[in-house]
Amino acid sequence: MYGNNSQIKSSLLLLLTATIWGVAFVAQSIGMEYVGPFTFNSVRCFIGIIVLSPVCLILRKKDRAKGVSPVGNRRTLIEGGLVCGVFLCLASNFQQFGIKYTTVGKAGFITACYIVLVPVFGMFLKKKTGPFIWAAVFIALIGLYLLCMKEGLSLSNGDALVMVCAVLFAFQILAVDHYSPLVSGVELSMMQFLVCGIGSGIPALIFEKPQISSILAAWQPILYAGALSCGVAYTLQIIGQKNLDPTIASLIMSLESCISVLAGWLILGQAMTARELLGCAVMFAAIILAQLPGGRELQVSET
């Protein structure tokens, strides 16, 4: 069991993570007015690395002073960075393209489907899934229908792209759960940003041909997404998942969906219809159901 102080600290860290991520949907939407999706994600990742570099050096210096050995080995760190980085790269770019064609609030709620998908995909990692999870998936599908479906049972392009993003983020979270106890959280975060930054930068140079002037014009949203959403929030995710019960951690992180709706309303003036609001409420109910003690009967089997 974790101590009360550790639980409170980790809960506050993940609440801050959810807040940063929720507002980041606004930054991503505004940034798209100046630069392409690949360019935005590549630049923000390298900013995240710059922000974390001095933190990493300070932590290493403190460990050496205390005679503490580094957590994990370089091979595990590189492997974890590649796996987490590939999923982060794919997920963030699907999300970024999706935000071009849907609202901030809808993007936030659809992305939050990873909270339901994580335990479902966990079945393939020898984890037990209770009946509550299947009920939550069914309820989430109803919420998605109310939120996303247009006339003729069709998804908008933006909604479909963000749904793919939710699936990819579910895999990224499972990868972080696996590697975060094995290596330094800050170094793992930097490695995944390096992979994501290069993976986004190559297609940016080929298809978008970014201009320095355009990047500078979008400096505010890019800086927020890079320094806070990447540099701070993703690192807090890794640290928080180490020290908090996964049920509580997932529920707290899912609050990004609510914050994205509020941020879209307050900052961008994006209104939602009654049907879309009902869809959001149903999806959030499914997210909560999936995280209840009776619904999260997941235990890792030794292999």
Q: What pLDDT does 296 receive?
A: 47
Give the C-alpha separation, 244 to 1, whole Å.
9
Q: What share of the chain is helix, strand, coil (3-state, %, to 5)?
A: 80, 0, 20
Single pTM value for the model: 0.83
- Tokens of residue 279, six digits: 């869809």
CA distance to 6, 81, 185, per residue, from 11 (Å): 8, 25, 17
Q: What pLDDT does 301 receive?
A: 36
Q: What pLDDT does 48 receive?
A: 95
Give the C-alpha separation, 234 to 231, whole Å.
6
Q: What pLDDT does 214 receive?
A: 94
Look-up: residue for tokens 């499914």?
Answer: 286
99-137 burial, b for 16+ CB within 10 Å, e for fewer? Answer: bbebbbbbbbbbbbbbbbbbbbbbeeeebebbebbeebb
Q: What pLDDT does 295 receive?
A: 52
Give the C-alpha separation, 30 to 201, whole Å.
20
Q: What pLDDT does 149 receive?
A: 67
- Tokens of residue 122, six digits: 């966990």
pLDDT by residue for the chain (303 residues), tens only, comes to: 445 677 778 878 888 998 998 888 889 889 989 999 999 999 999 999 999 999 888 888 887 777 666 666 889 999 999 999 999 999 999 999 998 888 877 888 888 888 788 778 877 877 666 677 778 778 887 887 887 666 555 678 889 999 999 999 989 988 988 898 888 888 999 999 999 999 999 999 999 999 999 999 999 999 999 999 999 998 888 888 776 656 567 767 877 877 887 788 888 887 777 888 888 888 888 777 766 665 544 433 333
